């Protein structure tokens, strides 16, 4: 089989220096660090970027999506090496904006390339084993610590643990055992909506509500005095998707200015629901015409809003945004 490795940097490619760990290794170095990997497939390597996961921009994500589209025409599968900080977002963005005929597996490491016990080689091996498996012929996944997660569901849950990635409420698509890949769900894309868009580059700040949070910061970020300075806003509310009264009033002003607002939850599991009334309650926010993130975490709701804005060509395509949020395909 022919596999394309798209290398973007991240901890998996990082080594130490006077200023801390930074990506210094290329995709070829990563492949060479895994004994016997060449027995599974032939590899073509493309260095798309060399940055840490926390510095992936819209432009870099666009370059990665373009590289994946090209690679899909020439390969049987694609592996993306990526920093863990935003890996789940990049995987979800690719899943939302491409419909490739080959499987894509994102992977990386929690421990740098030059650290004893680095998890990069086994994770890379797992990603290759995933995209070369006879049951996996499409979809975008995140493969880490012997688990295969759907791009739509996976989140980073721990700052440093090797088992950092999990899929709340749904669990992984499969796991690697001594007998091979054990599947729990059908291996495919679980993004209920996809859109082929060339550019996704929206300015969407994310605000978290909590005890005593004021609405002035939201008003300043949106820049209402001089006209909206953003394309949309995502608010990580408390519980089912509620905010302080002050944030609620700021949201009313933002919506009056025509800026789309998505309400997500700070909670790690469960979906949003407009249940409570009063200042900051979900039913009050509902009256302002906010969008609800369902069970998407705020940072993934931000990704989907950006794509919905690109699909809407000047305005948010609400039907695209809402598809799959409440009854995601299992």
- Percentage above 90 pLDDT, the chain: 89
- Whether 11 sits among the annotated catalytic residues: the reply is yes
Q: pLDDT under 50 in the chain at which residues?
A: none
Q: How far is CA 93 from CA 58, 178, 214, 288, in A?
A: 10, 32, 31, 28
Going by C-alpha positions, the residue among 215, 218, 194 that lies closest to residue 303 is: 194
On whether both 219 and 278 belong to a single domain, the answer is yes
Q: Per the residue annotation, which of 4, 8, 81, 84 is the catalytic one?
A: 84
Same domain as 122, residue 233: no
Confidence at residue 219, expressed as pLDDT on a 0 to 100 scale? 87
- Give residue 9's pLDDT: 98
Same domain, 140 and 211: no
The share of the chain scoring above pLDDT 70, in percent, equals 98
Q: How far, in Å, CA of 251 to CA of 233, rounded? A: 9
- In this structure, what CATH number is given to the domain that contains residue 306? 3.40.50.40
State residue 175 phi and psi, 5-degree precision. -145, 150
Whether 191 maps to a domain, the answer reads: no
Q: Does the residue 193 lie in any domain?
A: no
Known catalytic membership, residue 194:
no
Same structural domain for residues 108 and 250? no
Domain co-membership, 33 together with 162: yes
- Please check whether residues 152 and 225 belong to one and the same domain: no
- pLDDT for residue 329: 53
According to DSSP, the residues that pair with 43 across neighbouring strands are 3
Spatial neighbors of 265 by CB under 8 A, at least 6 apart, are 236, 237, 238, 239, 240, 241, 271, 272, 293, 298
Q: Specify whether 58 is located in the same domain as 132.
A: yes
Please pick, among 4, 8, 11, 86, the residue that the annotation labels catalytic.
11
Would the pTM of this model clear 0.85, i.e. be above it?
Answer: yes
Tens of pLDDT, residue by residue over 271-284, are 999 999 999 999 99
**Same domain membership, residue 246 and residue 126:** no
User: Domain span at residue 250?
Assistant: 206-322
Instruction: Give me the number of domains the chain comprises.
Output: 2
Same domain, 19 and 147: yes
Same domain, 159 and 214: no
Same domain, 175 and 50: yes
Q: Is 174 in the same domain as 215?
A: no
């Amino acid at each position: 089989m022919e596999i394309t490795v798209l290398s973007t940097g991240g901890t998996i490619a990082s080594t130490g220096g006077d200023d801390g760990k930074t990506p210094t290794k290329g995709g070829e170095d990563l492949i060479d660090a895994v004994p016997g990997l060449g027995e599974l497939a032939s590899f073509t390597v493309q260095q798309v970027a060399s940055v840490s996961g926390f510095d992936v921009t819209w432009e870099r994500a666009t370059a990665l999506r373009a590289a994946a589209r090209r690679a899909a025409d020439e390969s049987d599968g694609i592996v993306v090496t990526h920093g863990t900080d935003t890996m789940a977002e990049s995987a979800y963005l690719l899943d939302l904006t491409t419909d490739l005929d080959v499987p894509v597996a994102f992977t990386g490491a929690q421990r740098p390339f030059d650290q004893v016990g680095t998890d990069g080689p086994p994770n890379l091996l797992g990603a290759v084993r995933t995209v070369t498996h006879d049951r996996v012929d499409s979809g975008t996944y995140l493969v880490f610590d012997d688990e295969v997660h759907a791009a739509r569901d996976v989140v980073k849950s721990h700052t440093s643990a090797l088992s950092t990635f999990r899929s709340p409420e749904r669990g992984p698509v499969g796991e690697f055992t001594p007998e091979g890949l054990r599947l729990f769900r059908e291996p495919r894309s679980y993004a209920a909506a996809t859109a082929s868009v060339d550019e996704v580059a929206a300015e969407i700040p994310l605000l978290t509500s909590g005890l005593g949070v004021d609405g002035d910061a939201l008003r300043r970020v949106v820049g209402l005095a001089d006209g909206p300075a953003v394309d949309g806003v995502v608010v990580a509310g408390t519980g089912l998707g509620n905010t302080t009264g002050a944030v609620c009033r700021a949201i009313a002003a933002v919506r009056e200015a025509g800026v789309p607002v998505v309400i997500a939850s700070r909670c790690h599991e469960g979906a949003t629901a407009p249940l409570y009334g009063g200042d900051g309650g979900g039913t009050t926010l509902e009256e302002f015409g906010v969008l609800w993130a369902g069970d998407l975490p705020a940072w993934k709701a931000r990704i989907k809003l950006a794509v919905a804005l690109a699909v809407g060509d000047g305005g948010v395509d609400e039907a695209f945004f809402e598809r799959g949020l409440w009854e995601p395909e299992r």
